[in-house]
Structures are given as C-alpha cells and as structure tokens.
C-alpha cells in the first residue's frame, strides 16, 4: 500500500532525486531516473558560480534548472497531499478499498503541503529572479560595449 503522506514528503524532500517516483512507480520509472540530471546540472551551476563568479554565463542557465526541479517536486508533493482518499487509493492502491487508510489525510500530510508551498514558491521565485537579473545585467553590459 502506497501511503499518501509518505509520498508527499518524499516528493518534497527527495523529489529532485526521484525518490517519490521510485516509491510510487518502482525502480523502472524513467522519469525517476531522469530527475537527478537537472538537479546535478543545477548543483554544477552553483559550483561554477563559486569558482568563476556571477559573470559565468553557463551558470545562468544551470542554476535555474535546480530551482525549477525543486519547485516542480514541491508542486508534486502538494498535488499528492491534496488528492482525495478515493482518488489516491484508486490511482496508487487499486487493489485496496477506496477508503483505505493509506490515502487518508493526516497532520503530517498537511505539514507536507505547508512546507512544500513555502519552500517551493520561494525557490521558484528565486530562480526566476536570478535568471532575469542576470539576463538584464548582461544586456546592459552589452549595450554599454556597443555605445562606447
């Protein structure tokens, strides 16, 4: 039986590594194996910023990958946690009765919603702001070069 609360927390905490996908769909899940790729690329972008500074253009593309992956996994956690008991059990526990306790919402499930919403929204907004800020700073630098 797949527990809704466990799946929501796995999507939030281990989502960028695909842990929730492996829990729900097994080790043969392709998306579960693909999720660590943008996570690793985003972490590599952070490493590039630490080595080369904020002027490294490759990091402008890599860092948001991590942010968008974390935000998407947080959204996934919220969607899982908000599913009704009947919908959860119908999708992830088809052999169980529709009112099985594995699909019920508890305080732990509500906690996953709150934390995922808080962190997910913050990471998403930060990724968007970082991307646009770096882009516009680059445009200003290039315009200054042209005007000189």
What's the domain count of the chain?
1
Range of the domain at 63: 4-147
Please tell me the pTM assigned to this model.
0.87
What is the per-residue pLDDT for 90? 92
- Using alpha carbons, list the distances in angstroms from residue 147 to 11, 141, 142: 49, 10, 9
Confidence tier at 131 by pLDDT (50, 70, 90): confident
CA proximity to 25, closest of 40, 5, 7: 7
- Using alpha carbons, list the distances in angstroms from residue 15 to 26, 31, 54, 55, 121: 14, 11, 27, 30, 15
Residue linked to tokens 């516009």: 136
Per-state percent for the chain, helix, strand, coil, to nearest 5: 80, 0, 20
Alpha-carbon distance of 119 to 3, in angstroms, equals 22
Do 58 and 46 form a contact (C-beta atoms < 8 A)?
Answer: no
* pLDDT tens per residue across span 17-33: 999 999 999 999 999 99
Do 77 and 12 form a contact (C-beta atoms < 8 A)?
Answer: yes
Confidence tier at 130 by pLDDT (50, 70, 90): confident
**Tokens matching residue 131:** 């991307």
* pLDDT tens per residue across span 99-125: 888 889 999 999 999 999 999 999 999
* pLDDT tens per residue across span 39-98: 999 999 999 999 998 878 888 889 999 999 999 999 999 999 999 999 999 999 999 888
Alpha-carbon distance of 130 to 31, in angstroms, equals 26
What is the per-residue pLDDT for 12? 96
């Amino acid at each position: 039986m797949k527990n809704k609360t466990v799946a929501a927390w796995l999507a939030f905490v281990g989502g960028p590594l695909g842990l929730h996908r492996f829990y729900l769909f097994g080790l043969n899940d392709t998306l579960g194996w693909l999720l660590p790729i943008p996570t690793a690329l985003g972490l590599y972008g952070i490493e590039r910023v630490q080595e080369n500074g904020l002027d490294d253009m490759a990091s402008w593309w890599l860092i948001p990958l991590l942010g968008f992956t974390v935000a998407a996994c947080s959204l996934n956690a919220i969607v899982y946690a908000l599913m009704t008991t009947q919908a959860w059990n119908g999708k992830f526990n088809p052999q169980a009765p529709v009112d099985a306790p594995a699909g019920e919402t508890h305080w732990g499930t509500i906690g996953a919603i709150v934390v995922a919403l808080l962190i997910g929204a913050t990471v998403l907004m930060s990724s968007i702001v970082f991307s646009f800020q770096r882009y516009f700073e680059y445009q200003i630098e290039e315009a200054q070069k042209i005007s000189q």
